[in-house]
Amino acid sequence: MPDSNKSERVLDPLERFSEVLFGLIMVLTFTCSLRAGSAGREEIRTMLTGALGCNLAWGLIDALMYLMASLSEKRHGLATLLAVRRATNPAQGQQILADALPPVVASVLPTHDFELIRQKLNELAVPADYVRLNGKDWRGAVGVFLLVFLSTFPPVIPFIFITHVRLALRISNAIAIALLALTGYAYGRYAGHRPYAWAFSMVFVGGAMVGLAVALGG
């Protein structure tokens, strides 16, 4: 039996990891641009405003893209269903189903399973010719926004409470590295492939991307 808790998840683990990673990299492009030896309170305030504003904007953009992707997926699914129902013969319907499934899944399903699925789809009530976003889609968009936006705060909190810029920057970098490592470790566990190696790789890749963004003026 499928795990009902997993089926009710609004965002899958890969989506959550990706959004947190994206938010961390964005905020790091601001914190890493500070010059610890010369930055004053005005520079700190500008950095905080920029980091919060940037992740607020990109959180909204990512949420919108999530809704667009959800709508596109629904429309693609409906188009596949209608194509199966309009197939002129069973073999054509089975091929449409095989093309819609992941190759590794389609490769292990025998013909009679495809035929059973095709018959079940033909027995469904005729669907509407359009699809709409539902509550789960909107909750997913809110989740995407929150993951990107809230990931801003851990690296910037030291600058709010610590007046010594160099110390605040070191603590901020340590927090960011720890979060990158945790994200990589969690992804490695999810993928079933060497969590500690993924943790190290995430720190390295995240640092390289931040360095590139700062070098390009990001």
Residue 165: what pLDDT?
77
Find, among 109, 80, 106, the residue nearest to 93 by Cα: 80
Alpha-carbon gap, residue 213 to 218, rounded angstroms: 5
What is 170-186 written as a DSSP string?
HHHHHHHHHHHHHHHHH
Residue 139: what pLDDT?
92
Identity at 98, one-letter amino acid code = A
Residue 38: what pLDDT?
55
Alpha-carbon gap, residue 75 to 8, rounded angstroms: 21
Alpha-carbon gap, residue 180 to 202, rounded angstroms: 6
Residue 45: what pLDDT?
81
Residue 1: what pLDDT?
40
User: How high is the mean pLDDT in each 10-residue block of the chain (218 residues)?
Assistant: 50 80 83 65 81 90 92 87 88 90 86 89 72 87 91 88 81 86 86 85 78 59
Measure Cα distances from 42 to 33, 49, 111 in Å.
Answer: 14, 11, 68
Residue 213: what pLDDT?
59
At a CB cut-off of 8 Å and minimum separation 6, what does 57 contact? Answer: none
Residue 107: what pLDDT?
84
Angle between helices 165-191 and 13-31 (to 10 degrees): 160
Q: How far is C-alpha 190 from the chain's CA centre?
A: 14
